[in-house]
Structure 1
Amino acid sequence: MRLRHVVVGLGAASLLAAGAAPAALAGPGETTYILVSTGQTLPRNLDATVARAGGTVTKTYPFGVAVVEAGASFRGVAGTTMVRDAGFDADLGTQVALDPEQLPPASGNDDPFFDLQWGHVPVGAVEAWDDGVRGEGVRVAVLDTGFDTDHPDLAPNVNLDLSADFTGEGLEYTLPDTFSHGTHVAGTIAAADNAFGTIGVAPEAELVLVKVLGDAGSGNFEDVFAGIAHATAVDADVINMSLGDVQPRNSEEEDITALSVAMNRAVRHADQNGTTVVVSAGNDAQDLDGDGNLVRFLTSAPHAIGVSAYAPTGWVSDGWDGNFFVPASYTNYGTSMVDFSGPGGDTAYPGDENCTVGGLTRPCWVFDLVFSTGNGGWYWSAGTSMAAPHAASVAALIISEHGGDMKPAAVEREMRLRAIDAGKPGTDDFHGRGAVHSGH
Structure 2
Amino acid sequence: MKKSILYSAMALSLGMSANANALEFLYDAGGKFNQNKVNKVVANAGGSVLDCIEEISVCKVEFSTLEAAKSSGLNVVPNASAFIPKIENVPVGAQLTVAEDYLNPPNSADDDFLFDLQWGHQAVGAVEAWNAGNRGKGVRVAVIDSGADGGHPDLAPNINIELSRSFVPEETWDYAGPDSFNHGSHTAGTIAAADNGFGTIGVAPEAELVILKALSADTGSGDSYGTMQAMVYAANIGADVANMSLGLSVRRNGLYDIEGTPYDTSDDIQFETASIAQFIQTYGKAANYAKQNGVTLIASAGNEGTDLDHSDSLMKLPADLPAVNSISALGPRLWGKDSATFTDHLAIYSNYGQSAIDFAAPGGDYTSAFMSGGFDACNVAGLVRPCYVFDFVFSTGNGGWYWSVGTSMSAPHAAGVAALIIGANGGNMNPTHVEAKLRELAEDMGKPGRDDVYGHGKVQAPK
TM-score, reference length from structure 1: 0.89
Q: Report the equivalent of 2:183.
A: 181
Find the counterpart in structure 2 of residue 314 from structure 1.
334
Taking a change above 3 Å as real, the CA distance of residues 56 and 435 of structure 1, as seen in their structure-2 partners, is same
CA deviation after TM superposition for structure 1 residue 84, in Å: 2.4
Conserved? CA contact 1:391–1:436, under 8 Å: yes
Residue 404 in 1 paired to residue 427 in 2?
yes
Post-superposition offset of 1:25: 3.5
Which residue among 22, 26, 39 is the counterpart of 1:34?
Answer: 26
Q: After superposition, what is the alpha-carbon deviation per residue over 1:403-422, rounded to whole angstroms, capped at 9, x for unaligned?
A: 11111110000000000112
Pick the aligned partner of 1:81 from 72, 75, 79.
75
Letter in 1 for 2:402: Y
* Structure 2 letter corresponding to 1:82: V
Give 1:53 deviation, angstroms: 3.6
- Who is 1:270 aligned against? 290
The alpha-carbon distance between structure 1 residues 41 and 330, as it changes in their structure 2 partners (threshold 3 A), is farther
CA pair 125-187 structure 1, distance change in 2 beyond 3 A: same
CA–CA distance in structure 1, aligned partners of residues 16 and 226 of structure 2: 12
After superposition, the Cα gap between the structure-2 partners of 1:21 and 1:186, relative to the gap in structure 1 and judged at 3 Å, is: farther
Instruction: Give the CA deviation at 1:397.
Output: 0.5
Matches within 5 A, 1:28-67: 28=19, 29-37=21-29, 39=30, 45-61=37-53, 62-67=55-60
Distance in 2 (CA, whole Å) between partners of 1:100 and 1:371 is 11
Between stretches 249-258 and 263-272, larger displacement belongs to 249-258
Q: Which amino acid aligns with 1:186?
A: A
Deviations 1:279-325 (A, max 9, x none): 0000000011113565321122011000000011111215x662111
TM-fit CA distance, 1:218? 1.2
Partner of 1:14: none
Q: How far off is 1:238 after superposition?
A: 0.5
Counterparts of 1:359-378 in structure 2, within 5 Å, are: 359-378=382-401
| Structure 1 residue 346: Cα displacement | 0.7
SS at match of 1:289: helix
1:97 equivalent in alignment to 2:91: yes
Aligned residue in 1 for 2:228: 225
Q: 2:359 aligns with which of 319, 340, 343?
A: 340
Structure 2's unaligned 5+ residue stretches are 1-9, 100-106, 256-269
In structure 2, the residue matched to 1:7 is: none
Task: Note closer, same or farther for the CA distance 1:101–1:275 as it changes in structure 2 (3 Å cut).
Answer: closer
Deviation, 1:177, is 1.1
How many residues of Structure 1 are paired with residues of Structure 2 in the alignment? 420
* CA separation of 1:321 and 1:148: change in aligned 2, threshold 3 A: closer
Deviation of 1:94 (Å):
1.4
3-state secondary structure, aligned to 2:308? coil
Q: Which residue type is aligned with residue 33 of structure 1?
A: F
- Identity, in percent, stands at 45
Distance 1:129 1:67, change over 3 A: same
Mapped contact 2:27–2:76 kept (Cα < 8 A): yes
Q: Distance in 2 between matches of 1:27 and 1:244?
A: 28
Change in CA separation of 1:214 and 1:324 when aligned onto 2, cut-off 3 Å: same
Are the equivalent residues in 2 in contact too, given 1:246–1:295 (CA < 8 A)? yes
**Aligned 8 A contact 1:205 1:396 in 2:** yes
Q: 1:201/1:52 Cα in 2 relative to 1: closer, same or farther (>3 Å)?
A: same
8 Å CA contact retained: 2:98, 2:110: no
Cα 1:187–1:21 shift into 2, 3 Å: farther
Residue pair 1:20, 1:171 contacting (<8 A) in 2 also: no
- Code of the aligned partner of 1:91: P
Q: How does 1:214-293 map to 2 (within 5 A)?
A: 214-215=216-217, 216-251=219-254, 253-254=270-271, 255-291=275-311
CA distance in 1 between counterparts of 2:113 and 2:94 reads 12
Equivalent residue number for residue 136 of structure 2: 135
For 1:25, which of 3, 16, 32 is the aligned residue? Answer: 16
Letter in 2 for 1:51: A
Q: CA, structure 1 residues 366+282, in 2 after alignment: closer, same or farther (shift >3 Å)?
A: same
- Residue aligning to 2:213: 211
1:195-252 C-alpha deviation (Å, 9 max, x unpaired)? 0110000001010100001112111111111111111111110010000135322326
Kindly provide the amino acid, as one letter, of the partner of residue 251 in structure 1: G
CA contact (8 A) 2:81 2:249 kept: no
User: Do the aligned partners of 1:144 and 1:182 also contact (CA within 8 Å) in 2?
Assistant: yes
- Where 1:299 maps in the other structure, the secondary structure is coil
What secondary structure does 1:248 align onto?
coil
| TM-score after normalising by structure 2 | 0.85
Root-mean-square deviation (CA), in Å?
2.4
Are 2:347 and 2:365, in contact at CA under 8 Å, matched by a contact in 1? yes
Aligned equivalents of 1:211, 1:409: Cα separation in 2: 26
Higher-helix-fraction structure: 2
Give the conservation status (yes or no) of the 8 Å contact 1:260–1:295.
no
What amino acid does structure 1 have at the position aligned with 2:135? R
Any conservation in 2 of the 1:236–1:275 contact (CA below 8 Å)?
yes
In structure 1, how many angstroms separate the alpha carbons of the residues matched to 2:84 and 2:132? 34
